[in-house]
Structures are given as structure tokens and as C-alpha cells.
Amino acid sequence: MMEFDVEEVTAYLHQHIPVTRAMQFSVLPVSEGALKLSAKLTPNLNHQETAFGGSIASLGILAGWTLIHLRLRADLQKYKIVIQKSEIEFLRPIESDFTAECPVPDDRVWSLFHDSLQRKQRGRIALESTVKVNGQIAAVIKGIFVAKVL
């Protein structure tokens, strides 16, 4: 399982992806085999007094991006990680603070991605995050991420 300092990783996101500070995103400890992020409702409100769809999508995508970033940090190599494609399904409105979680991929999936990255200097991996409010799934975000050796 990944070990990291949640405050250090949150500060990294706020510095390198500035919108995460404005949206009050923060990193939570890994639990139940998933990387988790949280967001406050207030800075992410829409005109309906619920969470803005773009904020929900951003949190879900960022959960996957952060998971990849943290797993690759152990390589001591520089990578560029981007989202290539994403798809979101909104299941319910979000009316309070919310979280996103991205399960750590199984070893086989990660190995295929990581081996491609080392051999071809580029790898692609599909991840799925869920955004939850009060323990209930409010959105599902499927993403394909690409990493490239710099």
C-alpha cells in the first residue's frame, strides 16, 4: 500500500494545480485500498446550491491522477501525467462536503502500465473513481490516463 504525508501531497496539489486550493480539495489517508480526496461544498456550489458538475468531475479525475503520481514517485524519475479521456455519470445531487476515491489498481493492471512506461517511455491506464456524499455514490468517473517519461 502507498504511504505518504497527506499534508505534503495536498500542498503539492495546491502549488502545482492551483485550482485545487480555490476548490478546497485535500488529500485523505489511503484506506480500504483506495486513494481518497475531499472537497468542501461552499467553494464548489452551483446556482442550485448543489456541487457544480465541473468540481465533481475534477475531484474524481484528480483522485486518479494523484494515485498515479504517488505510485510513480517511487521510481525517482520525472513523468508527465495527463487525462486522455474521461466519462462521468451523475447519480444524485451533492448538497454537502464530498469525497472521491480511486481504488488502487490490482498488481497485473499496474504492471502492464508500468512496464509499458519503462519500455516505451509512455503508458496508458484506465481508472474509475467514485464521488460520494454521506457515504452514497453521487457520481462515477471513468478515465484513461497517459504517463510519459520526461
Q: How far is CA 37 from the centre of its chain?
A: 7
The CATH fold assigned to 6-149 is Thiol Ester Dehydrase; Chain A (3.10.129)
Q: Residue written as cell 480500504?
A: 32
Please state the domain extents for the chain: 6-149
Rounded distance between C-alpha atoms, residue 55 and residue 14, angstroms: 15
* 13 touches 4 (CB < 8 A): no
**In this predicted model, what pLDDT tens digit does every residue of 111-136 receive, in sequence order?**
999 999 999 999 999 999 999 999 99
Measure the CA angle with vertex 64, ends 24 and 84; round to 5°: 110
**In this predicted model, what pLDDT tens digit does every residue of 68-81 receive, in sequence order?**
999 999 898 999 99
Mean pLDDT of the chain: 96
Residue 30 above 90 pLDDT? no
pTM for this prediction: 0.96
